[in-house]
Amino acid sequence: MIGIKEYNKKIGSLKNTRKMTKTMKMVSASKFKRAHKAQANALDYAAKLQELISRLSFSSGQSNHPLIKHKKLPIKILVVLFTSDKGLCGGFNNNLIRKLRNWLQDNHYKYHQISLSFCGRRGFMSFRKSQNVIKYYEDITLKPTFADALKIANDLSVSYTLSEFDEIYLAYNRFNSPLSQTPLIEKVLPLDPAALIKEVKPQKADYFYEPVQQELINFLIPKFLNFKIFYTLLENAAGEHGARMSAMDKASQNTLDLIDRYTLLRNRARQAAITTELTEIISGSEALK
């Protein structure tokens, strides 16, 4: 049977753990606020960009840009996985990694080669020994910048233009709320013109363009890819901090429940010890009579 001293040690350890989890929750809440604000601002930019493309009446037959050209028989593909560098964020990484493993298993027979690139240490550590690794972008997921996104987008553009890969996919968590992130795997190259004007009603008004319409479209295509990568990084950061904030809140509540439980057990052990001492005193007193 555990004694009162052992219960006190457990309760003291749990109190220290709760202080740490509460502190981590507060830190994650502060980081989440900044990351969510950046993601919301980027969403506004996305709406303006899609509106501009809509005004240009973008369609699949209007551009011969190399990032739009589809390969007839795609045999080599690249998947860029976005995860966090650190853990303690619940199922944020595990759910996405599990989805990607299932996706690779379901699609390996369709292609001759499937390669992976990584943004985030957790994803890299999970696949580095089992998959063909092309590139690992270090230390960019915690505080994503547009310069980081531009570097990744340029690498993807060059690889696709040089036919190193026939299709390129992004695997990431779509941010819904601090409590909810949806693992997604979606194709980013070749770009789908229909997706660029999705949810935006094209405007049929006549415009005068300077430079010409075709040049504007070709200018916007790389910009859209750059923004897509940047927005994915922002969603990944917001989801990571939100998931860690929720996980630390749950951990704090669990430690509080354990403290209450062990406090009750300690009190019962103390009462049992007191009862035993009283019984011994009474028995000794009766023996002296």
Rounded-to-integer distance, Cα 194 and Cα 111, Å: 25
Q: Annotate the chain with three-state secondary structure.
A: CCCHHHHHHHHHHHHHHHHHHHHHHHHHHHHHHHHHHHHHHHHHHHHHHHHHHHHCCCCCCCCCCCCCCCCCCCCEEEEEEECCCCCCCCCHHHHHHHHHHHHHHHHCCCCCEEEEEEECHHHHHHHCCCCEEEEEECCCCCCCCHHHHHHHHHHHHHHHHCCCCCEEEEEEEEEEECCEEEEEEEEEECCCHHHHCCCCCCCCCCCCCCCCHHHHHHHHHHHHHHHHHHHHHHHHHHHHHHHHHHHHHHHHHHHHHHHHHHHHHHHHHHHHHHHHHHHHHHHHHHHHC
Rounded-to-integer distance, Cα 256 and Cα 1, Å: 23
Q: Specify the pLDDT at position 59.
A: 46
Map out the domains of the chain as residue ranges: 28-245
Beta pairing class for 167-177 and 180-189: antiparallel
Phi, psi values for residue 222, rounded to 5°: -65, -35
Q: What is the CATH T-level fold of the domain 28-245, as seen in this structure?
A: Pyruvate Kinase; Chain: A, domain 1 (3.40.1380)
∠ CA 196-65-145, nearest 5°, is: 60
Q: Is the pLDDT of residue 2 over 60?
A: yes
Convert 144-175 to b/e letters by CB count within 10 Å (16 or more is b). Answer: beeebbbebbebbbebbeeeebbbbbbbbbeb
pLDDT single digits (tens) 27-36: 888 888 888 7
Q: Specify the pLDDT at position 201.
A: 53
Burial degree of 202 (CB within 10 A; 0-12, 13-18, 19+): middle
Q: Is the pLDDT of residue 207 over 70?
A: no
Q: Is the pLDDT of residue 44 over 50?
A: yes
Rounded-to-integer distance, Cα 161 and Cα 88, Å: 39
Nearest of 250, 272, 236, 260 to residue 35 by alpha carbon = 236
Tokens of 236: 């990944």
Evaluate whether 180 touches 200 at the Cβ level (below 8 Å). Answer: no
Q: What is the pTM of this model?
A: 0.79
Length of the chain: 289
pLDDT single digits (tens) 106-126: 888 888 888 999 998 998 998
Q: Specify the pLDDT at position 213.
A: 67
Q: pLDDT higher for 193 or 123?
A: 123
Residue 123, Ramachandran bin (φ over 0: left; ψ between -120 and 50: alpha; else beta): alpha
Give me the percent of the chain exceeding a pLDDT of 70.
Answer: 86
pLDDT single digits (tens) 224-278: 888 888 888 988 888 888 888 888 888 888 888 888 898 888 888 888 878 877 7
State which amino acid sits at residue 53: I
